[in-house]
Amino acid sequence: MVQPSSSQPRQSTSNPTTLAGLIAALVVTLFVYFQVFLFLREGTANPWIIFIVSLLWGIGGIWLLFTLVTSIVDLLPSKYRQGIMPWVFAAPAILLVFYYLLIPTFRTFWLSLLDAKSDKFVGLDNYIFAFTSPAMLESFKNNLIWIIFGGGLSVALGLLIAALSDRTRPSFEVSVKTLVFLPMAISMVGAAVIWKLVYQYSPAGASQIGLLNSIGTTLGASPIPFMITRSINTYLLVIILIWMQTGFALVVFAAAIKGLPSELLEAARIDGATELQSFFKITIPYIQVTIISVSTTIVISTLKVFDIVFGMTGGNYGTQVIANEQYTQMFRSFDYGRGAAVAMVLLIAVLPVVYFNVRDFGKEAKGF
Amino acid sequence: MANMALEHIYKRYGKTTAVTDFNLNVEDGEFIVFVGPSGCGKSTTLRMIAGLEEISDGVLRIGDRVMNDVPPKDRDIAMVFQNYALYPHMNVYENMAFGLRLRKVPKDQIDQRVRGGAKILQIEHLLERKPKELSGGQRQRVALGRAIVREPKVFLMDEPLSNLDAKLRVEMRSQISKLHQNLKATTIYVTHDQIEAMTMGTRIVVMKDGFIQQVDTPLNLYDFPKNKFVAGFIGSPSMNFLTATCNNKTVSGNGFSVEAQGKLADSLSAYNGKQVWYGIRPEHLGLEGSTTIAGGANRLTGVIEVVEPLGAETDLMVNIGGQTVVAKVDGHAQVKVGDTVTLFCDQSRMHAFDMEKELAIGR
Interface mutation target, options A262, A263, A265, A270, chain B, most CBs of B under 10 Å: A270
Interface mutation target, options A260, A263, A264, A271, chain B, most CBs of B under 10 Å: A271
Both B260 and B128 in a single domain?
Answer: no
Interface of A with B in 232-261 (CB under 8 A): 261
* 8 Å CB contact of B79 and A266: yes
| Residue B39 contacts A where some CB pair is shorter than 8 Å | no
Interface mutation target, options B89, B114, B133, chain A, most CBs of A under 10 Å: B89
Tell me the HSE value of A286 on the side-chain side, using a 13 A CA sphere: 25
Both B204 and B248 in a single domain?
Answer: no
Quick one: how far is CA B139 from the chain centroid? Answer: 23
Beta bridge partners of B351: B279
* 8 Å CB contact of B72 and A269: yes
Q: What is the pLDDT of residues A156-178, one digit of tens each?
A: 999 999 999 988 888 898 898 89
How would you class A331 by CB atoms within 10 Å of its CB: exposed for 0-12, middle for 13-18, buried for 19 or more?
exposed
Beta bridge partners of A306: none
- Whether the ipTM is more than 0.95: the answer is no
CA angle B234, B276, B235 (to 5 degrees): 10
Residue A270 has its nearest CB partner, among B50, B83, B130, at B50
| Residue B46 contacts A where some CB pair is shorter than 8 Å | no
Give me the pLDDT at residue A13, please. 53
Q: Is residue B223 part of a domain?
A: yes
Give me the pLDDT at residue A236, please. 93
- The pTM of the full predicted model, rounded to 2 decimals, is 0.77
Q: Which residue has the higher pLDDT, B257 or B292?
A: B257
Q: What is the mean pLDDT of chain B?
A: 91
Average the pLDDT over B259-269 and give the result: 89
Give me the pLDDT at residue A363, please. 53
Terminal CA-CA length for chain A: 43
Residue B87 has its nearest CB partner, among A264, A270, A274, at A264
What residues in A contact B71, CB-CB < 8 Å? 269
Both B26 and B117 in a single domain?
Answer: yes
Q: Is residue B210 part of a domain?
A: yes
What residues in B contact A368, CB-CB < 8 Å? 88-89, 130-132
- Sign, CA dihedral A131-A136-A141-A142, equals negative
Average the pLDDT over A22-35 and give the result: 88
Q: How far is B99 from chain A (nearest CA, A)?
A: 4
* 8 Å CB contact of B85 and A266: yes
Q: Which among B179, B206, B233 is the end of a domain? A: B233
Identity at B127, one-letter amino acid code? L
CA distance B102 to B16: 37
Nearest residue to A285 (alpha-carbon basis) of A264, A312, A311: A264
| Residue B52 contacts A where some CB pair is shorter than 8 Å | yes
CB-based contacts of A88, cutoff 8 Å, min separation 6? A66, A69, A70, A73
Q: What is the pLDDT of residues B279-316, one digit of tens each?
A: 999 999 999 888 888 777 889 999 999 999 998 899 99
What residues in A contact B87, CB-CB < 8 Å? 264, 267-268, 282, 285
| Residue A270 contacts B where some CB pair is shorter than 8 Å | yes
Tally Cβ neighbours within 10 Å of residue B256.
23
Both B69 and B208 in a single domain?
Answer: yes
Position A223 pLDDT exceeds 50 = yes
Both B204 and B247 in a single domain?
Answer: no
Count of domains forming chain B: 2
- Answer for the pair A316, A299: CB distance below 8 angstroms, yes or no: no
Q: Which among B233, B250, B267 is the end of a domain? A: B233
Q: How far is A74 from chain B (nearest CA, A)?
A: 41
Q: Is residue B362 part of a domain?
A: no
Position A149 pLDDT exceeds 90 = yes
Give me the pLDDT at residue B142, please. 93
Q: Which residue has the higher pLDDT, B2 or A134?
A: A134
Interface mutation target, options B98, B150, B155, chain A, most CBs of A under 10 Å: B98
Q: Which residue has the higher pLDDT, A238 or A6?
A: A238
Residue B102 has its nearest CB partner, among A263, A271, A286, at A271
Q: Is residue B360 part of a domain?
A: no
Q: Which among B233, B260, B293 is the end of a domain? A: B233
What residues in A contact B77, CB-CB < 8 Å? 270
Q: How far is B250 from chain A (nearest CA, A)?
A: 54
Reported as a pLDDT band with limits 50, 70 and 90, residue B120 is confident
Structural domain boundaries enclosing B330: 242-354
Average the pLDDT over A283-309 and give the result: 91
Residue A263 has its nearest CB partner, among B73, B81, B130, at B81
Average the pLDDT over A223-239 and give the result: 91
| Residue B79 contacts A where some CB pair is shorter than 8 Å | yes
| Residue B94 contacts A where some CB pair is shorter than 8 Å | no
What residues in A contact B52, CB-CB < 8 Å? 266, 269-270
Q: What is the pLDDT of residues A61-114, one digit of tens each?
A: 888 888 888 888 888 887 888 888 888 888 888 988 898 999 999 999 999 999
Q: What is the pLDDT of residues B159-218, one digit of tens each?
A: 999 888 888 889 889 889 998 998 888 999 999 999 999 999 999 999 999 999 999 999
CA distance A151 to A141: 15
Interface of A with B in 277-316 (CB under 8 A): 277, 281-282, 285-286, 288
Q: Is residue B216 part of a domain?
A: yes
Q: What is the DSSP string of B261-284?
A: -HHHHHHHGGGTTSEEEEEE-GGG
Q: Is residue B147 part of a domain?
A: yes
Torsion, Cα of B123, A274, B59, A169 (10° steps): -110
Identity at A208, one-letter amino acid code? Q
Interface mutation target, options B79, B105, B114, B133, chain A, most CBs of A under 10 Å: B79
A/B interface, count of CB pairs below 8 Å: 64
Q: What is the mean pLDDT of chain A?
A: 87
Residue A285 has its nearest CB partner, among B82, B89, B103, at B89
Q: Which residue has the higher pLDDT, A40 or A309?
A: A309
Give me the pLDDT at residue B206, please. 95
Q: Is residue B363 part of a domain?
A: no
CA distance B230 to B28: 26
CB-based contacts of A245, cutoff 8 Å, min separation 6? A150, A154, A158, A184, A298, A301
Give me the pLDDT at residue A105, please. 93
Torsion, Cα of A250, A255, A260, A261 (10° steps): 140
* 8 Å CB contact of A264 and B73: no
> Pairing mode, if any, of strands B240-247 and B250-253?
antiparallel
CB-based contacts of A97, cutoff 8 Å, min separation 6? none
Residue A270 has its nearest CB partner, among B73, B88, B90, at B73
Residue A277 has its nearest CB partner, among B89, B102, B146, at B102
Residue B132 has its nearest CB partner, among A261, A274, A368, at A368
Q: What is the pLDDT of residues B310-346, one digit of tens each?
A: 988 999 999 999 999 999 998 888 899 999 999 999 9
| Closest chain B CA to residue A274 | B73
Both B44 and B136 in a single domain?
Answer: yes
Reported as a pLDDT band with limits 50, 70 and 90, residue A14 is low
Both B87 and B173 in a single domain?
Answer: yes
Both B216 and B290 in a single domain?
Answer: no
Range of weakest confidence among A42-46, A200-204, B240-244 = A42-46
CA distance B242 to B276: 8
Both B223 and B254 in a single domain?
Answer: no
Find the helix or strand (DSSP H, E) in which B173 lies: helix B166-183
DSSP label of B298: -
Q: Is residue B215 part of a domain?
A: yes
Q: How far is B327 from chain A (nearest CA, A)?
A: 43
| Residue A118 contacts B where some CB pair is shorter than 8 Å | no
Q: How far is B207 from chain A (nearest CA, A)?
A: 24
What CATH number corresponds to the domain at position B225? Answer: 3.40.50.300
What CATH number corresponds to the domain at position B246? Answer: 2.40.50.140
CA distance B123 to B145: 9
User: In chain A, what are the domain boundaries?
Assistant: 16-112, 126-366
Full 3-state SS string of chain A: CCCCCCCCCCCCCCCHHHHHHHHHHHHHHHHHHHHHHHHHHHCCCCHHHHHHHHHHHHHHHHHHHHHHHHHHHHHCCHHHHHHHHHHHHHHHHHHHHHHHHHHHHHHHHHHHCECCCCCCECCCHHHHHHHHCHHHHHHHHHHHHHHHHHHHHHHHHHHHHHHHHHCCCHHHHHHHHHHHHHHHHCCHHHHHHHHHHHHCCCCCCCCCCCHHHHHHHHCCCCCCCHHHCCCCHHHHHHHHHHHHHHHHHHHHHHHHHHCCCHHHHHHHHHHCCCHHHHHHHHHHHHCHHHHHHHHHHHHHHHHCCCHHHHHHCCCCCCCCCHHHHHHHHHHHCCCHHHHHHHHHHHHHHHHHHHHHHHHHHHHHHHCC
Both B15 and B161 in a single domain?
Answer: yes
Both B18 and B121 in a single domain?
Answer: yes
What residues in A contact B83, CB-CB < 8 Å? 261, 263
Give me the pLDDT at residue B145, please. 92
Q: What is the DSSP string of B77-140?
A: EEEE-TT----TTS-HHHHHHHHHHHTT--HHHHHHHHHHHHHHTT-GGGTTS-GGGS-HHHHH
| Residue A263 contacts B where some CB pair is shorter than 8 Å | yes
| Residue A368 contacts B where some CB pair is shorter than 8 Å | yes
Reported as a pLDDT band with limits 50, 70 and 90, residue B358 is very high
Both B205 and B310 in a single domain?
Answer: no
| Closest chain A CA to residue B97 | A271
Which architecture characterizes domain A126-366 according to CATH? Orthogonal Bundle (1.10)
